[in-house]
A and B are shown apart, each in its own frame.
Chain A
Amino acid sequence: MNASFLLFSLLNTSFVLLVSPFFMSLIKKVKAYAQGRKGPRLLQSYFDLRKLMQKEVVYSPNSSWIMRITPYLNLAVLLLATLFVPIVFIPEASGGVGNIIVFLYLLAIERFFTALCGLDAGSTFGGMGSSRLMSLSAVVEPTMIIAFAALAYVLKTVNFHEMFAITAGSTIPESPTLTLISISLFIIIIVETGRLPVDNPATHLELTMINEAMILEQSGKNLALIELAHAVKQTILMAVLINILAPWGLATELTFTGLVVSCLYFLVKASLLAGLIGLFESSLAKMRLFRLPGFYMMAFFFSALTILMEVFT
């Protein structure tokens, strides 16, 4: 491990931590405008996190150590995953960092512990959320694998860092098939961050919840960590899509100007993407639970189509 990678680890992680809550607020703002409301301030997510950080944590008497470690574990796992998705600059690949299979498993660990945590407190809604998440995961995981496999097939590598180096080197998307994969990646963002039409992040109806149901029992600092982890997950998934479809400005080597340009470009591109997500969420009603596999199938279809196109051209 060299100094450049160490610097990358620090900068990339802190940048993601810093900007993630902003995109959460931004999506809320766009949705509010679509509904004709003013919506919360753009910095509201930061204030919410600070407020939660200062509140006491209450544990259900039925809960075990799972409930206590999940917030820390989830955030740690996702911060590790941020190393796989370069935003500030692309470092020299080191060890297994950047491997898409490890990346998928990191996301799976986060999902697994969130589901366990939902069961842990013994509340009725938590278990329901966990059961829904797990059954939907059984459908979404193959979809994600096939989407990332298509990506790996098109770019001929299984390492994110190398992929982004390829896409960043060209001014237009490397291959038209990348546009197709982007559709799959967009659907994965929607699914993984629990947004409409998969799950309604703004609902108060416990019976319809998936993600919210599992964290109902979380409070105070732990809730803040879980929400921050959720925001981080959204940012890195957005970064994957951005770096594949619109990698312009991403620095391939470490220079001060490169860093600043990368960060600014990312902020602009991610804000646009967040706006798009907000508009997408405003255009659909939540789907019936058993229709969701059909939605995931769209991602599966575009990924499979990409592979077919690559094989036969």
Chain B
Amino acid sequence: MNSNQNIKSSLTLADPKLIDDCQLPMNPAIPATQYITNLLNDVSGKQPLIGKGKNNELYIPLGEEEFLKIMPVLSQKGFVLISLFCVQSFEGSSGFTLFYFFRRSGFTEVFAFIRHAKAKTTSIATIFPSACWYEREIRDGFGVEFTDAFDKRRLFLHEAYPEGFHPLLKSFKNGKIQAVENPREAYPFKQVDGEGVYQIPVGPVHAGIIEPGHFRFSVIGEPIFNLEIRLFYKHRGIEKLAEGKTPSACVPIAEAISGDETVANTVAFCTAVEKIAGIEIPARANHLRTILLEMERIYSHMGDLSGMITDIGFPRMTTPFLILRENIFRQNELLTGSRFMKDNIDIGGIKKDISGETLSKLSLYLETFAPKFESAVADVRASSSLIDRFSTTGVLKRDSLLHLILQVPLPERLELLMISGLTTHTESIEPSLRKERSGLQEMSFPALKLRLQKFRTQLSLYENS
């Protein structure tokens, strides 16, 4: 517990007022380029060379000294870190190039700060706690040390991977590895000591999603004192599999990353390629992609809702959602020939057109879907024993939301994805949703219902075109 406190007190906190949208004009008087130039000028007295990307993003190369000066200022000005990644030998430069992506409410632009690094660099996780995972990911992948990081543990590499194993380096080739039999040090979980405190390890695979997940509970009797979750420790070598291939040969790889996110990952990849190459996709393909994305989102929601209810031990309430999920899978098969909608999205559009007739059928099915879903939700809402389990569970403190840039289910998620061309996990949260919310509200029924309505209207517009 002590170490936790230390980390918290060492954080440079942003002024919460600045993060709230209501405190800032939505259309600032000055453009983003001007804003950032002024900011850098104030901080370091230098004029940056700002490059503009194809997707409304600003690239701002910074020297090490300017970078270190600007980070705390960004935090105070209400910038949020949405992504951080590393590239080796970027545009012929030696060493590593780190890209820090920020957003700030009031601007539609994404700010990308470029920093050069050698094998050792400094961490920004005390200023932006959400950088912690990214930095650990870069350390594992490239071997770049963040010397003053408060968390230097491995992220996606299990301790059985040998020392000096950095699978994202240019020199690395996918191949067999010799697993370390007895790792020198086990992954250090936070130790909670005291009378009657004991540790319950759950894992190493999460039973619900069959993905790596180790949950270390420190409990005193029934109350859980601390829960530490370790995720991601599965490296599959997908990056190296894609390296050196043509973009279209990478589409099947993007599809295979995760079955539940086939369409989301493929659309994200294709959108990125299209943006870079300047490809305009036909409007119809764009609409069809949106429909497939929506289908994927709906069945994922159904799975999540049934999962939440399964976890509190109420199997009868879960089945309506599971039945709806299965029906969506069957609709997917009618639409695309695949329950998970594989082999449909391609660079430049989609592989097979979906006929207006098929879309009409989908529209007809959705007419029956909505009342069934609503009646299942009404059942859930009417069960007092279920509400008792959810009502005070999983309360998210505003404090953590702000620090960790946690995301909540958003109806706007897809628009964001389409607009920004970024992958889904990098979006920042909408300020209006930054409230303390309980598990039941987290189930996001109104958002889903609203979305369904929008979706149906959209579908009826395009099914005959």
Residues of A within 8 A of B (CB): 31, 34-37, 124-125, 128, 131-132, 196-197, 200, 202-208, 282-291
Chain B residue at minimum C-beta to C-beta distance from A282: B316
Q: Determine which of B202, B314, B316, B320 lies in contact with A286 in the assembled complex, contact meaning CB atoms within 8 Å.
A: B314
For this complex, 24 residue pairs linking A to B, each with C-beta atoms less than 8 Å apart, are A31-B316, A34-B316, A35-B315, A35-B316, A35-B318, A36-B320, A124-B199, A124-B200, A124-B201, A207-B202, A208-B313, A282-B315, A283-B316, A284-B314, A284-B385, A285-B312, A285-B314, A285-B317, A285-B385, A285-B389, A286-B312, A286-B313, A289-B222, A291-B388
A31 pairs with B389, CB closer than 8 A:
no
Contacts of B389 in A (CB 8 A): 285-288
Contacts of A34 in B (CB 8 A): 316
Whether B221 is near chain A, meaning CB under 8 Å from some CB there, is yes
Whether B121 is near chain A, meaning CB under 8 Å from some CB there, is no
A196 to B316, CA, bound (A): 12
Contacts of B199 in A (CB 8 A): 124
Whether B383 is near chain A, meaning CB under 8 Å from some CB there, is yes
Whether B217 is near chain A, meaning CB under 8 Å from some CB there, is yes
**Chain A min CB distance to B386 (Å):** 5
A204 to B311, CA, bound (A): 9
Chain A residue at minimum C-beta to C-beta distance from B223: A290
Given A206-B202, A285-B389, A287-B389, 20 more pairs with CB closer than 8 A: A34-B316, A35-B316, A35-B319, A36-B319, A36-B320, A36-B323, A37-B319, A128-B200, A197-B313, A197-B385, A203-B313, A204-B207, A205-B311, A207-B217, A285-B383, A285-B386, A285-B388, A286-B312, A286-B389, A290-B222
Sorting the interface of chain B by its residue count into under 10, 10 to 19, 20 to 34 or 35 or more gives 20 to 34
Q: Determine which of A125, A196, A206, A283 lies in contact with B313 in the assembled complex, contact meaning CB atoms within 8 Å.
A: A196
Contacts of A282 in B (CB 8 A): 315-316
**Chain A min CB distance to B240 (Å):** 35
Contacts of A286 in B (CB 8 A): 312-314, 389
A289 to B323, CA, bound (A): 30
B315 pairs with A202, CB closer than 8 A:
yes
- Kindly identify, within residues 297 to 337 of chain B, every residue whose CB is under 8 Å from any CB belonging to chain A: 309, 311-320, 323
A146 to B5, CA, bound (A): 50
**Chain B min CB distance to A309 (Å):** 29
Contacts of A288 in B (CB 8 A): 388-389
A201 to B313, CA, bound (A): 9
Chain A residue at minimum C-beta to C-beta distance from B312: A285
Contacts of B207 in A (CB 8 A): 204-205
Contacts of A208 in B (CB 8 A): 311, 313
| Per-position 1/0 for B201-235, Cβ under 8 A of A | 11000010000000001000110000000000000
A208 to B313, CA, bound (A): 9
Chain A residue at minimum C-beta to C-beta distance from B199: A124
A37 to B318, CA, bound (A): 12
Chain A residue at minimum C-beta to C-beta distance from B219: A128
Contacts of A205 in B (CB 8 A): 207, 311
Contacts of A124 in B (CB 8 A): 198-201
With most chain B CB atoms within 10 A of its CB, the pick from A35, A131, A290 is: A35
Contacts of B202 in A (CB 8 A): 206-207
Contacts of B313 in A (CB 8 A): 196-197, 200, 203, 208, 285-286
Query: Closest 7 A-B residue pairs measured CB to CB?
Result: A286-B313, A285-B314, A200-B313, A285-B385, A282-B316, A35-B319, A285-B386
A132 to B221, CA, bound (A): 9
**Chain B min CB distance to A64 (Å):** 20
A205 to B383, CA, bound (A): 22
| Per-position 1/0 for B377-403, Cβ under 8 A of A | 000000101101100000000000000
Contacts of B385 in A (CB 8 A): 197, 284-285, 287
A131 to B312, CA, bound (A): 20
Contacts of B388 in A (CB 8 A): 285, 287-288, 291
A208 to B207, CA, bound (A): 14
Given contacts A36-B323, A284-B385, A285-B385, is CB(A31)–CB(B200) below 8 Å? no
A32 to B355, CA, bound (A): 39
**Chain B min CB distance to A294 (Å):** 11
**Chain B min CB distance to A261 (Å):** 36
Contacts of A128 in B (CB 8 A): 200
**Chain B min CB distance to A201 (Å):** 10
Contacts of A289 in B (CB 8 A): 222
Contacts of A206 in B (CB 8 A): 202
A207 to B312, CA, bound (A): 11
Contacts of B221 in A (CB 8 A): 131
**Chain B min CB distance to A91 (Å):** 41
**Chain B min CB distance to A63 (Å):** 19
With most chain B CB atoms within 10 A of its CB, the pick from A282, A283, A285 is: A285
Q: Determine which of A125, A203, A283, A290 lies in contact with B200 in the assembled complex, contact meaning CB atoms within 8 Å.
A: A125
A55 to B200, CA, bound (A): 29
Contacts of A197 in B (CB 8 A): 313, 385
A132 to B219, CA, bound (A): 13
A207 pairs with B222, CB closer than 8 A:
no
Contacts of B319 in A (CB 8 A): 35-37
Chain B residue at minimum C-beta to C-beta distance from A124: B200
A125 to B202, CA, bound (A): 9
A299 to B145, CA, bound (A): 63
A203 to B323, CA, bound (A): 20
Chain B residue at minimum C-beta to C-beta distance from A204: B207
**Chain B min CB distance to A28 (Å):** 11
**Chain A min CB distance to B192 (Å):** 15
Chain B residue at minimum C-beta to C-beta distance from A287: B385
With most chain A CB atoms within 10 A of its CB, the pick from B198, B199, B222, B309 is: B222
With most chain A CB atoms within 10 A of its CB, the pick from B200, B207, B314 is: B314
A125 to B309, CA, bound (A): 22
Chain A residue at minimum C-beta to C-beta distance from B314: A285
A19 to B328, CA, bound (A): 42
Contacts of B222 in A (CB 8 A): 132, 289-290
A35 to B201, CA, bound (A): 32
Contacts of A35 in B (CB 8 A): 315-316, 318-319
Chain A residue at minimum C-beta to C-beta distance from B387: A285
A199 to B63, CA, bound (A): 61
